[in-house]
Structure 1
Amino acid sequence: MFSPKPTLTDMPSDVMDVILDKLGFVAILTLRKVCRDLRNYIDDAKPEFDDISKILIDVCAESISLEIGSHHEKTKSTVISYSRHLTGSLVGEKFLEKENFQKIFFEDFKIIFSSLNKFLEEFEIARDKDQGRGVQRSEDTLDGFLKELQIYFSNKKPLNLRKLTLKMRSASQILHVLPYISPKILKEIEIFDPSIGNPLHYGSKPIEMNEIVKTEQWKMARSLKIGQFLVTVPVKNLLHFGKAVAFQSSPHFESFSIHYDDFKDWKSLKDVFGAPQLNQNIQRIGWFFKLSNPENVLTMFYFTTQNTANFCLYNSRLVPSETIVKE
């Protein structure tokens, strides 16, 4: 009598668990796509991935790229592409008939995130850099992607990661992600416009920061970079940092720079802070402010020819004796 040959799914669970322990995350994600039984077994087993240090996601209208980095320096990052096909989807070189590439991506993404057992060093979500006719389609795809991501994040514990990079163009997009990161773990925030070149040339609107700056993640992060963006926070609403209100409460503060497109009324700074204590041919003017720690003062340097204002700690012993240090 003919009996069918045993398959992988016929193996005892302890043997299957040993096999999964020997496989990397890419092999496990591939194995999930072989058949329904293997997919269900892997989803129930919840294998742990302890070698993942960073996850980078690039979204465009027709595809999603997932890059996964390792804690081990000698191990190269792995890139998996999910793309639309006429009659289905491509995952890498594997064709999946009648499947949606975004749906497949999210299934893999959920497996990866639910299996992480260490902090991520870096997590990045970016919209592709295309400046052609596909920009709006990519924006629409990103919006849908972020809404799906928000639904997933809202049912999970805050994500433990140290650096968050968001390459997107609106506050609403940023707020789909930022509030779901653990503020106690997050150290660095980077926000960039994915457009190439000066955003003014591409019609980018200034980003509204009002809700973003209210988040605990923003308040507790130690490092911030914002690039290729115009922000709607008026300069006068940033100048209160010159009074060291925010900086005094942060033991991690070292420096903070503001780069702006234009500030025609820079002479009004004198109305806010009084006469500058440092004036080098009008190219750099500065003020000094007391801190709770008498060993340092807070300086504000305004560079009239470089469109830059810089705040930094300064050793009190190096301040000239005739200098007025403001309260």
Structure 2
Amino acid sequence: MVSLIDMPEVPMKITLEKLGYVEIQCLRKTCHSLRHFIDTTQPEQSIDALKISGSPNKISLLINGNDNINGNDGPQLYPSGQKIHVVYQALKGENARITWFRKDENRQKTILNENFSELLSRDFGLILECKLPILRTFSMDFKNTCKQFLEKYLSNKNPIKTNTLTMINAKQDDMLGFLPYICAGTLEKLVIQMADWIGPMDISKIVELEHWKKTRKIHIAGVSVAAEVRNFEHFTSLIVRFDVLYLEDVLFLKELFLHTSSTSKQYRISFGKLSDRNAFIQEFGLPLTEQRETLTFERPDDKEHVVKVEFSHFWDRVLEFKIIKKCDAPNEVEVVN
């Protein structure tokens, strides 16, 4: 029987491609020959998602393999599946504890004279040195992530390729420093989540980046934004909040939906107040009560679809734009030509 280290290059590559991230890292520690082969050939890792989150004294690293991503239960913890959950915790002094949550039995190790965030950074740096596929999603909480981490472990690396990028508690400066490490060409959806934020967030520099211009879905939660509505017109899916909603912006969006070639376009805009409530009532003929009000508009040169506009003032002030099939328009709502 041929041993693993004596296996020819082609079957060795095929074998490594069948292994998960943990198995490959274990093989790297077996002997110098295997480590050299793995580092040289860089087999693509079966990683589907990465997430970094935590608190001031504890940071969590979550790695999802691409096993059972469409199943009802999602990926299973290792060794039952390829989901890896590791928590790095600060102890008294410059000591740290690493906990690896597993399906069989959790593993714990105390590291003396090491900073917990530095340990996380090193491990994350090892992941980035691997050949990664295009991730389904990559999420990072910036509240307890230092800029030194970004500069030390993301610089001189290939940009991370992901379809969805979630940035949590990231101010504009954080995003400006982080987005250059993300590949704009693969980005399909951008999610910005904020907690305990007071006042609108400035995104005037973000909207100038290629990442903003190339992605087609943007969801911003937990904060209002200070930006022109026209900066969002290229998105097919939009969730955003403004402190003040202006009539001219609503009329612009109405025209945008009337003439867009995309029938999948959908916007949900929440707002603090209307710039001129009476002007809205006069323009749209809606009482703007706590009841949901609906208008539908015919689209020029489109016999099959209409624009559906909904105003809601019940729990949160929300304006929604959708394009629906004409046959699905509510019977009690008049279609406006």
Give the TM-score normalised by structure 1. 0.69
Sort the Cα spacing of 1:156 and 1:245 in 2 relative to 1 into closer, same or farther, 3 A.
farther
Matches within 5 A, 1:1-327: 21=16, 24-26=20-22, 41=36, 44-45=39-40, 47-73=42-68, 75-76=76-77, 77-85=83-91, 86-92=93-99, 93-127=108-142, 139=143, 141-142=144-145, 144-145=146-147, 148-149=149-150, 152-193=153-194, 195=195, 199=196, 204-233=198-227, 234-236=244-246, 238-239=249-250, 240-244=252-256, 248=260, 251=262, 253-263=264-274, 265-269=276-280, 275-276=283-284, 283=291, 284=293, 286=295, 288=297, 290=299, 293=302, 295-305=304-314, 306-315=316-325, 324-325=336-337
Output the CA distance in 1 between the equivalents of 2:259 and 2:30.
Answer: 55
Quote the offset at 1:39 in angstroms. 12
Quote the offset at 1:215 in angstroms. 2.8
Deviations 1:205-249 (A, max 9, x none): 421122223333233333332222122235238533232079826
The answer to whether the 8 A contact 1:247-1:253 is kept is no
Aligned length: 289
Quote the offset at 1:47 in angstroms. 4.2
1 or 2 for the larger relative contact order (CA 8 Å, sep ≥6)?
A: 1
**Alignment partner of 2:123: what SS?**
helix
The answer to whether the 8 A contact 1:298-1:312 is kept is yes
Output the CA distance in 1 between the equivalents of 2:166 and 2:308.
Answer: 29
Output the CA distance in 2 between the equivalents of 1:97 and 1:42.
Answer: 32
Quote the offset at 1:169 in angstroms. 4.4
Output the CA distance in 2 between the equivalents of 1:190 and 1:246.
Answer: 26
Query: What 5-or-longer segments of structure 1 have no aligned partner?
Result: 1-10, 128-138
**Alignment partner of 1:108: what SS?**
helix
The answer to whether the 8 A contact 2:20-2:65 is kept is no
Greater share of strand residues, 1 or 2?
Answer: 2
Output the CA distance in 1 between the equivalents of 2:159 and 2:288.
Answer: 48
Letter matched to residue 275 of structure 1: E
Q: CA RMSD in A?
A: 4.2
**Alignment partner of 1:176: what SS?**
helix
Give the TM-score normalised by structure 2. 0.67
The answer to whether the 8 A contact 2:29-2:35 is kept is no
Match of 1:134 in 2: none
**Alignment partner of 2:127: what SS?**
helix
Match of 2:80 in 1: none
